Structure 1
């Protein structure tokens, strides 16, 4: 069953976007208030240029604390070498990626265009019907 479920069916399309020029104060505030583990960073043409994670923001806190200076812009802290997931990937493919890597979300791409994000939680939510069916099978045995 899960081999046929596609990322596009469970990806988040209303996701948090930041600009590389945005101030880190604003970026940290957005992540904390939206309660998301990361945000995609897009340029003025809405092209994916990076991801800013909570881990990246911890670097900001430490840098600002140690250096006693205000943090800079998103582009100074964002991750630019990022993995992405194709919109047609299966949830099994993505589950394997999440198992092997530490990222909590991946940008979802469709022919080079950012169309959404997929998170660990969304993949787990997609598995609920599978586990319910499995649980019901065990009860009848």
Structure 2
């Protein structure tokens, strides 16, 4: 009688079941926003006060019409020298960026990180039914990564 080797059924590798980590879980809901008619000096003061690098520009229906950043404010400061105009006499609409990429709240944070890398922007406004409902920033993604590491990667 020959000896047969018997190997039991191998256990399936454990799959970690976790819900997707979505933009909506980490986005900011309460935002500093500006209107197109706001003076740029108000933007500069708000960026400093709230320690942010930019903010969405919305109309009266809370629809996104642009974004204004600290870089846009720098342009205004630079131009004020050439035009001999005091800082702050110019309006947001003259300096805001109107070609603004937005992101869906149901995108996972890994894809969002790739989009940040690809677009080189600091924030993505989040639109739902035509209205601005939030924003996700690079810092929000970094926070999500640290939180995920603490939950899953025990080191």
TM-score (norm 2): 0.82
Aligned residues: 136
Aligned to 1:8: 24
Equivalents in 2 of 1:102, 1:2: separation in Å?
Answer: 29
Provide the C-alpha distance between the structure 2 equivalents of 1:129 and 1:33, rounded to a whole number of angstroms.
27
Of residues 24, 28, 34, the one that matches 2:40 is 24
- Higher Rg of the two aligned structures: 2
2:145 is aligned to: 127
Per-residue displacement from partner, 1:16-67 (whole Å, max 9, x unpaired)? 1001000111111111111111110001111110000111111011011222
Tell me the secondary structure at the aligned position of residue 153 of structure 2: helix
1:58 counterpart residue number: 74
Structure with the larger strand share: 1
Could you list the per-position Cα deviations for residues 95-115 of structure 1 after superposition, in whole angstroms to 9, with x for gaps in the alignment? 001111221111011232211
Q: Secondary structure at the match of 2:116?
A: helix
Q: Contact 1:3–1:90 at 8 Å: present in 2 too?
A: no
Could you tell me which runs of 5 or more consecutive residues in structure 2 were left unpaired when the two chains were aligned: 1-16
1:72 is aligned to 2:128: no
Q: CA deviation at 1:92?
A: 1.0
Q: Hey, what does 2:52 align to over in structure 1? A: 36
| Larger fraction in helix | 1
* Equivalent of residue 134 in structure 2, options 97, 116, 123: 116
1:82 and 2:96 aligned: no
RMSD: 1.7
